[in-house]
């Protein structure tokens, strides 16, 4: 079994452990890897476990080939003993106990505690909100949260500062974020608390999605300079990506990324909503070009060495490049309403990236036709990425295609368009 550790658990046991000894449960596995560490003892209450990327309890059954992770209950956090200041930051999936957080943060010499608590409310812009999903770019969010807390603590001379943010699905009324600033006097605590909340809303890579009766929508949490409502959930100043809203901007890609297109602009639907292939008979044939990319990320950094030394299945990069080119030629067979195009050029460039570990794929396609060649470029990038996954999945089962997107296109009525 493959064991990965995070936070202080990693510092005690190492980042990765390959366990060949049989273990029936997660707790048995913990006992095996800590048998020579009497200081670690019973992990319950101090360590959290996950099996195959899903949180689990200690009695969960495990099988050979599973990946089990051990981590602190919260991600991030530090103590600056030299300065006598306590900084605590956390991204958590469990409910936030604000009272306990305040008790654990304050000290006997602190005369002021300033706290901000953000909760999920049940309405936004006269629409009922059923729940919110919070998604984070975890490695970056952990660092940013601690950076914000350490900076605010230092500049305002706080005794302590705690910043905790929920991730995952939250019901109406649940606490989404809590900030507690502690200082000898009220002015420093009040100003620091407000500043920490503003920095969190501005810089923390955490996104939220509102669930309404008619669907779910990602919310842009950036706030304007006036009318702020930093309450941890959707406010009337936040912009949403949903059908029917108009946005500004002259670049078609920039405009369409946020707007949400009127149904009449969906060219593959007729007036009755039936699928159709667009008739391009009256359009002139022009030179069309498109460039797309795909990012493949490795969970196991050792996969990089395997790429360089050679996979048992052969040259991964060469196979991915060839598969991408072949896949693009079959685009109309894969995407049912695409026109067959007389492709005059296809290229797929596949490069290894060291940090973060993975593969960067860039594909380009050209033709002279009456319709665009974007789908061919996107298909090439996607198929190349899938080929990398297929050839490396036995060594890195959680290799992920992080994104497939169009970078730029030219030709036709839209002219030259580039992603902002």
208 is a domain residue: yes
**Are residues 94 and 55 part of one domain?**
no
Helix ranges (H only) for 225-361 are: 252-258, 303-309, 316-329, 331-334
**Are residues 209 and 118 part of one domain?**
yes
Query: Quick one: pLDDT band at residue 328, thresholds 50, 70, 90?
Result: very high
Q: Read off the pLDDT of residues 73-116 as tens digits, 9 standing for 90 and up.
A: 543 333 443 344 578 898 888 889 999 889 888 888 889 999 99
**Are residues 83 and 205 part of one domain?**
yes
Q: Mark which of 15, 37, 71 sits at the end of a domain.
A: 71
Residue 187 tokens, joined? 């002015």
Question: What is the average pLDDT across 136-149?
Answer: 80
Query: Quick one: pLDDT band at residue 389, thresholds 50, 70, 90?
Result: very high
Residue given tokens 């005369």 in the structure block: 111
**Are residues 60 and 121 part of one domain?**
no
* Residue 413: φ, ψ to 5°: -70, -30
268 is a domain residue: yes
**Are residues 409 and 325 part of one domain?**
yes
238 is a domain residue: no
pLDDT given for residue 236 in this prediction: 29
**Are residues 198 and 87 part of one domain?**
yes
**Which residues, at least 6 apart from 297, have a Cβ–Cβ distance to it below 8 Å?**
356, 357, 358, 399, 400, 402
CB 30 within 8 A of CB 62: no
CA distance 44 to 70: 11
**Are residues 122 and 82 part of one domain?**
yes
**Are residues 327 and 252 part of one domain?**
no
Structural domain of 255: 243-276
Q: Mark which of 45, 71, 97 sits at the end of a domain.
A: 71
Question: What is the average pLDDT across 274-291?
Answer: 78
Query: Quick one: pLDDT band at residue 163, thresholds 50, 70, 90?
Result: very high
For the chain, what is the domain count?
4
Based on the residue annotation, tell me whether 390 is a catalytic residue of this protein: yes
Q: Choose the catalytic residue: 28, 390, 396, 416.
A: 390
3-state helix, strand, coil in the chain (%, to 5): 25, 35, 40
pLDDT given for residue 149 in this prediction: 92
Closest by CA to 208, choosing from 167, 180, 248, is 167
Among 101-110, 267-276, 356-365, 373-382, the range scoring the smallest mean pLDDT is: 267-276
230 is a domain residue: no
Query: Quick one: pLDDT band at residue 187, thresholds 50, 70, 90?
Result: very high
- Which neighbouring-strand residues pair with 409? 290, 417
**Are residues 347 and 309 part of one domain?**
yes
CA distance 105 to 96: 14
Question: What is the average pLDDT across 239-260?
Answer: 38
234 is a domain residue: no
CA distance 291 to 406: 6
Q: Mark which of 21, 48, 71 sits at the end of a domain.
A: 71
**Are residues 166 and 144 part of one domain?**
yes
**Are residues 141 and 26 part of one domain?**
no
CB 337 within 8 A of CB 375: no
Question: What is the average pLDDT across 266-284?
Answer: 70
Q: Which domain CATH number covers 180?
A: 3.90.1170.40
222 is a domain residue: no
236 is a domain residue: no
Peptide bond into 118 cis (omega under 30): no
Give burial (CB, 10 Å; 0-12/13-18/19+) of 172. middle
Q: Which domain CATH number covers 10?
A: 3.10.20.30
**Are residues 97 and 179 part of one domain?**
yes
206 is a domain residue: yes
């Amino acid at each position: 079994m493959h064991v990965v550790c995070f936070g202080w658990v990693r510092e005690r046991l190492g980042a990765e452990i390959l366990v060949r000894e049989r273990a029936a449960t997660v707790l048995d596995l913990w006992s095996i890897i800590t048998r020579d560490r009497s200081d670690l003892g019973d992990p319950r209450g101090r360590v959290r476990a996950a099996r195959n990327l899903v949180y689990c309890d200690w009695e969960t059954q495990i099988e050979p080939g599973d990946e089990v992770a051990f981590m602190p209950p919260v991600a991030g956090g530090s103590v600056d003993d030299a300065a006598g200041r306590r900084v605590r930051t956390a991204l958590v999936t469990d409910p936030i106990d604000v009272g306990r957080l305040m008790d654990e943060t304050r000290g006997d010499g602190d005369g002021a505690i300033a706290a901000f608590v953000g909760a999920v409310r049940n309405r936004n812009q006269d629409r009922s909100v059923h729940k919110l999903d919070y998604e984070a770019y975890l490695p970056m969010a952990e660092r940013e949260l601690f950076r914000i807390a350490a900076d605010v603590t230092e500049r305002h001379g706080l005794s302590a500062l705690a910043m905790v943010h929920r991730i995952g699905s939250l019901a109406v009324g649940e606490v989404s974020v809590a900030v507690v600033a502690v200082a000898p006097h009220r002015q420093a605590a009040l100003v620091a608390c407000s500043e920490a909340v503003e920095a969190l809303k501005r810089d923390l890579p955490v996104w939220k999605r509102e669930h309404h009766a008619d669907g779910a929508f990602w919310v842009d949490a950036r706030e304007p300079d006036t009318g702020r409502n930093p309450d941890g959930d959707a406010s009337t100043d936040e912009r949403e990506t949903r059908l029917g809203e108009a946005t500004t901007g002259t670049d078609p890609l920039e405009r369409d990324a946020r707007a949400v297109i009127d149904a009449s602009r969906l060219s593959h639907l007729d007036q009755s909503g039936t699928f159709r292939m667009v008739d391009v008979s009256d359009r002139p044939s022009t030179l069309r070009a498109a460039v797309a990319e795909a990012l493949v990320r490795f969970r196991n950094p050792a996969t990089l060495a395997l790429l360089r030394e050679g996979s048992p299945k052969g040259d991964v990069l060469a196979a991915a490049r060839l598969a991408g080119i072949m896949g693009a030629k079959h685009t109309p067979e894969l995407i049912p309403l695409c026109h067959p195009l007389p492709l005059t050029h296809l290229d797929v460039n596949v490069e290894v990236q060291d940090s973060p570990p993975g593969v960067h794929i860039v594909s380009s396609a050209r033709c002279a036709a009456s319709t665009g060649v974007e789908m061919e470029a996107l298909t090439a990038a996607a198929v190349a990425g899938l080929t990398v996954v297929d050839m490396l999945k036995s060594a890195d089962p959680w290799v992920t295609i992080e994104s497939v997107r169009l970078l730029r296109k030219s030709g036709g009525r839209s002219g030259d368009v580039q992603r902002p």
